[in-house]
Amino acid sequence: MYIEFALSDNRPGPDLLLIRYQLVKWATQNGQINYKEKTIKHKHRVTFDNDKLYTYFALTWNPAQHNQLKYRLIEPMETRQP
């Protein structure tokens, strides 16, 4: 599972800076939560080691109203093998 933020196609840099700033602020305010980040194309992904933190994130993520700070929770589907 991971959290995905969409970056704008024409200016991904400022969006990424805003997302990272708000993530650091959120993690600090909630007890130094550890997370990992990865940017792939125009998507920024955030993962946690503990699956319970995804629910906690959804309940506590409340940054200023910026369109760039909207996110999706993604649970990759398992690949099927015949």
Q: How confident is the model at residue 19 (pLDDT cuts 50, 70, 90)?
A: very high
Residue ranges making up the domain that contains 58: 12-74
Indicate the number of domains in the chain: 1
- Look at the pTM and tell me if it is higher than 0.75: yes
Give the residue-averaged pLDDT of 8-23.
89
Helix (H) or strand (E) holding 28: helix 12-29
Judge whether 70 lies within some domain. yes
The set of residues, in sequence order, having a beta carbon less than 8 Å from that of 46 and lying 6+ positions away, is 2, 3, 4, 5, 23, 35, 36, 37
Judge whether 1 lies within some domain. no
- Position 31 pLDDT exceeds 90: yes
Judge whether 35 lies within some domain. yes
Give the residue-averaged pLDDT of 28-36.
95
Judge whether 5 lies within some domain. no
Judge whether 2 lies within some domain. no
